[in-house]
Amino acid sequence: MKIEEVKSTVRIQRIAAHSHVKGLGLDENGVPIHTAAGLVGQEGAREAAGIVVDLIKSKKMAGRALLLAGPPGTGKTAIALAVAHELGNKVPFCPMVGSEVFSSEIKKTEVLMENFRRAIGLRIRESKEVYEGEVYELTPVEASNISTSGEKIISNVIIGLRTSKGSKQLKLDPSIYDSLQKEKVEVGDVIYIEAGSGTVKRQGRSDVYATEFDLETDDYVPLPKGLVHKKKDVVQDVTLHDLDVSNARPQGGRDVISMMGQLMKPKKTEITDKLRVEINRVVNKYIDQGIAELVPGVLFIDEVHMLDLETFTYLHKSLESPIAPIVIFATNRGRCTIRGTDIVAPHGIPLDLLDRLLIIRTLPYNIRDLGQILMLRAQTESLKISEKAFNLLSDIGAKSTLRYAVQLLTPAYQMCKVNGKAEITEEDITDVHQLFLDAKRSSKFLSDNKAKYML
């Protein structure tokens, strides 16, 4: 008998540069733990970021901006991502790079406004009448269609729902049968049907069927409590940009222009200010009625020195908006020219904007912290490394850069596999260090051999 092993359907996640970052690593008093949640050192910066997280959660930070400033490879992006982890997935977090504003398709200010609105969430709470329960009967009722010579059509659908307190049999419109088919509803599924709109939502498979020996990667949910017909609070999280896009997209029609628009490849276009003003008016109306709640998120702009004077001026206006998100800038520049001018300013940011930023500095890592980060990365990538190899790699990182040392880990593991070993040794580190140059050695090589290169 042939036996095949069933592979897991869980998606394998790629290990990225900041996969190890899980939070700011603070204790219950907001004091940073030296090595925690994937972060090492930078205690002052992490403590300051923790205070900012508390301000965001208490809704006292909206419309303000933060600047993370420090040398390359000192954890600025990691701290920004840690802030996102601390806020949770319900608070919008929109990362971008300063150079993104220079697009050939769309205006610079439009790119900024689009990302601003991606970072502003709207939590809509509605109380709806619903029928909720486990499906125990699903029977489409057919009838003859006189207009098509007696062809059978679905006239209505009989559906039976049960909960822990009872059951109900419903007669539904045939249009709801299409929704049931789209949601792939079967007997044994837990669903709810909105009484007003007829919208069907499949919540999962009833946990009564959890012992079935099948290969379905399904979510099992408990049998709903209470009556079948009830009032249910539905919470939906969207961003203002989602509302902009959904209202700007043409619905289509019978005319030639609409059909051509559907056939052609959609191009990135700007959303008008008139549409945004109208959406803001409706949003404010919902907020006043208590239906919706504004959730100011975080817009993270890395390499902020790449912005020019026009975009800095626009940021001033946007930060003063009543529905502005929290903006976190990051830069590794010292004093440099403001793009688009000949003015030299700290971090390449105009002084009037710099004056309204809370600035957090990150400092270079010492060799001890550098070693702990390398060990953390080795654990994240599931690499085994000997103590001597680890010490050598730490020394290389101290002489060159942390990023270079981290990047040597995977090639060194590949080298040790080629040599038939399971653990990275000192020889493997030495070999890859000779094969791959760091920036300092490459620069020295170029200066020593400049006569051989074209100017």
Q: pLDDT tens digit string along 296-348?
A: 788 888 888 888 888 888 888 888 877 788 888 999 888 889 888 888 999 88
Full-prediction pTM beyond 0.85?
no
Choose from 100-104, 122-126, 193-197, 311-315 the range with maximum mean pLDDT: 311-315
Q: What is the mean pLDDT of residues 193-217?
A: 71
DSSP class of 423: S
Domain for residue 19, yes or no? no
Does residue 159 lie in a domain region?
yes
Which of 127-141, 146-160, 253-267 has maximum average pLDDT? 127-141
- Asked whether residue 380 is assigned to any structural domain, the reply reads yes
**Cα separation, 111 vs 385, whole angstroms:** 45
β-strands 39-40, 344-346: how paired? unpaired
Q: What's the CA gap between 302 and 422, in Å, rounded?
A: 38
Determine the average pLDDT of the residues in 42-50: 88
229 and 203 in one domain? yes
Q: Which helix (H) or strand (E) holds 123?
A: strand 120-145
Indicate whether 226 and 132 sit together in one domain.
Answer: yes
Task: Tell me the average pLDDT across 164-187.
Answer: 82
* CATH code of the domain in which 93 resides: 3.40.50.300
Percent of the chain with pLDDT over 70: 87
Specify the residue for token string 């100017």.
Answer: 455
Q: Which of 249-263, 301-315, 352-366 has the lowest mean pLDDT?
A: 249-263
Backbone φ, ψ for residue 261 (5° rounding):
-60, -35
> Which of helix, strand or coil describes residue 122?
strand
In this structure, what token pair is assigned to residue 238?
């969207």
pLDDT at 249: 62
> How many residues belong to the chain?
455
Nearest to 356 by CA among 324, 322, 315, 325: 315
130 and 231, same domain (yes or no):
yes
| Spatial separation of the C-alpha atoms in residues 9 and 22, rounded to whole Å | 24
114 & 69 share domain: yes
Residue type, position 268, single letter: K
CATH of the domain at 210: 2.40.50.360
The pLDDT-based confidence of 273 (bands split at 50, 70, 90) is confident
Q: Could you tell me the pLDDT band of residue 384, with boundaries at 50, 70 and 90?
A: confident
Cα dihedral sign for 422, 426, 428, 432? positive
- pLDDT of residue 446 exceeding 50, the answer is yes
Same domain assignment for residues 212 and 170: yes
Helices then strands, each counted (H, E), the chain: 14, 17
Domain count, the chain: 4
pLDDT at site 137 = 86
Q: Is residue 128 scored above 80 in pLDDT?
A: no
Decide: 228 and 160 in contact? Cβ < 8 Å.
no
Does a structural domain hold residue 453? no
pLDDT of res. 355: 85
Say if 415 falls within a structural domain.
Answer: yes
Find the CATH number of the domain harbouring 388: 1.10.8.60
CA angle 156, 158, 163 (to 5 degrees): 145
- pLDDT in the model for residue 270: 61
Q: To the nearest whole number, what is the mean pLDDT of the chain?
A: 80
Statement to judge: residues 46 and 86 lie in one domain = yes
Could you tell me if residue 16 is inside a domain? no
User: Among 53, 41, 67, which Cα is nearest to 300's?
Assistant: 67
Helix (H) or strand (E) holding 402, with range, is helix 402-418
pLDDT category at 250 given cuts 50, 70, 90 is: low
* 266/348 same-domain check: no
Q: Is residue 15 part of a domain?
A: no
Same domain, 150 and 216: yes
Shared domain for 140 and 195, answered yes or no, is yes
Contact of 193 with 199, CB cutoff 8 Å = yes
For strands 220-221 and 200-206, give the pairing: parallel
DSSP state at residue 170: E
Q: Which two tokens stand for residue 245?
A: 């896009």
pLDDT of residue 210: 66
Residue 209 within any structural domain of the chain: yes
345 close to 334: Cβ distance less than 8 angstroms = no
* pLDDT score at 8: 41
**Domain range enclosing 258:** 239-287
